[in-house]
Amino acid sequence: MRSNKKQPKNTDRQVRTMRAPGGAARDAASRQLQRVSGKMGNQDFSAEMRGRTDQRDQLLAFIAQRLQTLQGVQNTERLEISDQRQWYKEVAKGDAGYHLPDTTRWHETARRYKSAAQALSRGDLTRGAQLVEQALEAERAAYDSAPKQVRTELDEHERTAAADPDVLPHAINGGACPEITMPGEIRMLADRIISVRDVMEDSPPLPIMRWWSDGLEEEEEEDEEDDD
């Protein structure tokens, strides 16, 4: 039986990396900063840290902006579940691009952006940038799987997945950066996206046309009246 659901393509190929516990990763970042500091003068070290801090903050701002946009896209998909009369025929007939809404398609992207923000906040600039790269891959897969009836309802700035931010290749080679508290907005947005679990298991069946039987019944009634 043909499925009228579509999920994002698996992007595990991009995420097979070793994961160190949070404390171990934080200690490694601190040791790296100490090594860099020992090789530089105070002035050079301060300039280097300003550059890395700026890269970290740009990525955190990017993550917050993407999560805010994705929450809006997810809300649109959620609304389409209750508006099925507008598109159920296209889904039932298997028209290209039409399939059932599923708000959970955005969960993986939100999880990866949240993990990226956690790494950046504990001072691991390289790891955080790698996780942003993986989140972007998950975001593209989620957009590719979104049904047509959802995409047509999106605002212009919501219609496509994000491009890589300009700072990303520099941050991937950035090493360690100063540690900060993870922005609460990022945690809130990611958790809200992950908490939404509205799905449709199946679409309503197409109505069966009975015009021929109705016509036959009318003819039989007329014949009976003539006999009387």
pLDDT in tens, 181-213: 999 999 999 999 999 999 987 766 666 555 444
Torsion of CA 116, 118, 121, 123, to 10 degrees: -80
CA atoms of 26 and 11, how far apart (whole Å): 27
Is pLDDT of 25 > 90?
A: no
Q: Average pLDDT for residues 144-161, to the nearest whole number?
A: 96
**Which pLDDT value is given to residue 7?**
79
Contact between 193 and 67 under an 8 Å Cβ cutoff? The reply is: yes
Token representation of residue 41: 């003068």
- Angle made by CA atoms 117, 124, 9, in degrees to the nearest 5: 50
Q: Average pLDDT for residues 43-50, to the nearest whole number?
A: 79
Average pLDDT value for the chain: 83
Identity of residue 67: L
> How sure is the predictor about 225, in pLDDT bands with cuts at 50, 70 and 90?
low
CA atoms of 88 and 149, how far apart (whole Å): 10
CA atoms of 51 and 75, how far apart (whole Å): 37
Q: In terms of Cα–Cα distance, which of 199, 206, 186, 21 is closest to 110?
A: 186
Report DSSP state, residue 173.
Answer: T
**Which pLDDT value is given to residue 79?**
95
Q: In terms of Cα–Cα distance, which of 118, 134, 109 is closest to 21?
A: 118
Among 16-20, 164-168, 174-178, 196-200, the least confident range: 16-20
**Which pLDDT value is given to residue 203?**
65
> Measured between alpha carbons, how far is residue 82 from residues 27, 31, 85 in Å?
49, 53, 8
> How sure is the predictor about 172, in pLDDT bands with cuts at 50, 70 and 90?
very high
CA atoms of 36 and 8, how far apart (whole Å): 41
What percent of the chain clears pLDDT 70, i.e. is strictly above it?
A: 72
**Which pLDDT value is given to residue 136?**
98
Residue range 49-83, pLDDT digits in tens: 899 999 999 999 999 999 999 999 999 999 999 88
**pTM, 2 dp:** 0.77
First to last CA, the chain: 52
Contact between 190 and 67 under an 8 Å Cβ cutoff? The reply is: yes
> How sure is the predictor about 34, in pLDDT bands with cuts at 50, 70 and 90?
low
Identity of residue 122: R
> How sure is the predictor about 85, in pLDDT bands with cuts at 50, 70 and 90?
confident
> Measured between alpha carbons, how far is residue 61 from residues 123, 159, 161, 190 in Å?
16, 20, 16, 14
